[in-house]
Amino acid sequence: MKISRFIHTLLMMVLLMQGCAFSRGTLGDDIKSDSIAAIQKGVTTKDEVFRLLGAPDRLVPLNGRDVFQYYRYDAKAGSLLLIILNFSRLSIKSDDLFVILNRDGIVEDVISSKRTKALAFRFWPFGE
Amino acid sequence: MTNRTGRVASLLLAALVCLAPLGCNVVRVSFNASLGPEDVAFIVPGQTTLSEVVAKLGVPNSIVESDSGIVATYRFLDLKYSRVNFGWLAKPWTPVDPDLIFSRTGLGVDAFQLLCDPQWVVLNQEFQRHLTRPPFHPYPFQQSRVSPQDELRASSGPAIMARHDPGNIRSHAMPNE
C-alpha cells in the first residue's frame, strides 16, 4: 500500500515537473568574502589588492584617489511551462565591491554588498 | 431534455473557462530590488551620510565624481511582459494555425541617484525616472500611466548636476543587503 502511494506520488511529481525549466547565468568572478576581509584600511597596498582580487572591473578617479570597482552578476530563471499557460521569472542581482585607495596607494576604505546570496529560483511572476 | 441542455451548457461553459487562458505567457525580469519613495524616505539632505544609506540600501552600483562632489547610483529594473494568443481558441476547429496576439511589455527601468559632498554627506537625492509600476495585462491599446510632468522630468537629463569641491573621504560600514 505504501509502495503504491509512493509510486503515485512519484508519478505525480514527474508529471508536474515536466514543464519546468531552470536557467542560470553569471558574469564575473565570485568576490570572495575572505579576500575582502583580508583588506585592511590604512595598511593594505594597491599591489596587495591586485593580488587578492585581481584587476578591477572599473577604475574610477575620485578627488585624486583611485576607486577600484569589482562586480559580479548572477541571474536565475525559473519557468513553469504548462503548454497553454506559461510563467517565467528571471531575477538578476549584483555583488559590488569598491576599494578606495589614497594618493599613496594605500587602502582608505572598502564597501561591499553581496546581494546574490539572497537570489533564488522563482517561477511566480506576480507580487514582489 | 431541459436537464440535458443544462448539462451541455455546463460543459460548454467549462470548456470556455478552460480555453480562456490558452496561449498565455507571463514573464517578469527583475534586476536588484526596486526602490520606491518609501525606501529612501529616511534620507535627509544635508544630514544623512552615504554610510547610513549604504547600511540600509547596500552598496550602489556605481560611484562617479562630478563637478560638485560624488554621485552614487542605484540601478534597478522591473520588466513585465504578458502575451495572450486568442488564435488558440480556434485551433481545434481549423486546419490552419491562426494567431491573434495581444502583448505588452513594461520595461520599468529606473535609477536612484545621490549627490554627496566630499565628506560623503548627501546633498541631493532623486529618482532618475518617475515611472509607475508597469502593468501586467496584455492589452496594448491603453495609455501608460506616466504623467506629462514626469515625462518632462525624465527627458530633461540626469537628476543631479554638480560642481567640483575636493576633500576627504570618510569610512563606511560593509553591509550586505
This model of the complex carries an ipTM of 0.80
**Closest to A51 in 3D by CA, of A35, A37, A63, A62:** A35
Distance CA B61, CA A96 (A): 7
Using DSSP, state whether B154 is helix, strand or coil: helix
DSSP B96-137: S----EEEEEE--EEEEEEEE-TT-BEEEEEES--PPPPP--
Q: Evaluate whether B28 touches B80 at the Cβ level (below 8 Å).
A: yes
Residues in chain A: 128
**Greatest pairwise CA separation for chain B in angstroms:** 91
Spatial CA neighbour of B133 closest among B21, B28, B26 = B28
- Burial of residue B170 (CB within 10 Å: 0-12, 13-18, 19+) is middle
If you measure CA to CA, which chain A residue comes closest to B171?
A109
Q: Inform me whether the pLDDT recorded for B152 exceeds 70.
A: no
Give phi and psi for A116, each to the nearest 5: -70, -15
Backbone angles phi, psi at B155, to 5 degrees: -90, 0
| Chain B touched by A28 (CB under 8 Å) | no
Q: Which chain B residues are Cβ-neighbours of A90 within 8 angstroms?
A: 27-30
pLDDT at A102 over 90: yes
Contact B21 A85 (CB under 8 A): yes
Contact list in A for residue B86 (CB cut-off 8 A) is none
- Asked if A126 has any chain B CB less than 8 Å from its own CB, the reply is yes
- Tell me: pLDDT of B107 over 50: yes
Nearest to B116 by CA among B84, B73, B148, B76: B73
DSSP state of B49: B
Model pLDDT for residues B44-61, shown as the tens digit of each residue = 999 999 999 999 999 999
- What distances in angstroms separate CA B51 from CA A30, A109, B75, one per listed residue? 24, 11, 18
Domain ranges of chain A: 2-118
Map grid coordinates 520595461 to a residue: B107
* B69: region left, alpha or beta (phi > 0 left; psi from -120 to 50 alpha): left
Measured distance CA(A39)–CA(A110) in Å, rounded? 8
Task: Quote the pLDDT of residue B82.
Answer: 92
**C-alpha distance from B33 to closest chain A C-alpha (Å):** 8
- Tell if the CB–CB gap between A125 and B61 is shorter than 8 Å: no
Cα A65 from chain centroid? 28
Give the pLDDT band (50/70/90) at residue B158: very low
Contact with chain B for residue A59, Cβ under 8 A: no
Which chain B residues touch A if contact means CB-CB below 8 Å? 21-33, 54, 58-65, 70, 77, 80, 88, 118, 136, 166-167, 169-177
The answer to whether B159 touches B113, Cβ cutoff 8 Å, is yes
Query: What do you get for the CA distance between the two ends of chain A, in Å?
Result: 42
Question: Percent of chain A at pLDDT above 90?
Answer: 66
Q: Taking 70 as the threshold, does the pLDDT of residue B16 lie above it?
A: no
- Per-residue pLDDT at A118: 86
Determine the 3-state secondary structure of B156 from DSSP. Answer: coil
Adjacent-strand bridge partners of B105: B81
Tell me the three cell numbers of residue B58: 547596500
Å between A6 CA and nearest CA of chain B: 30
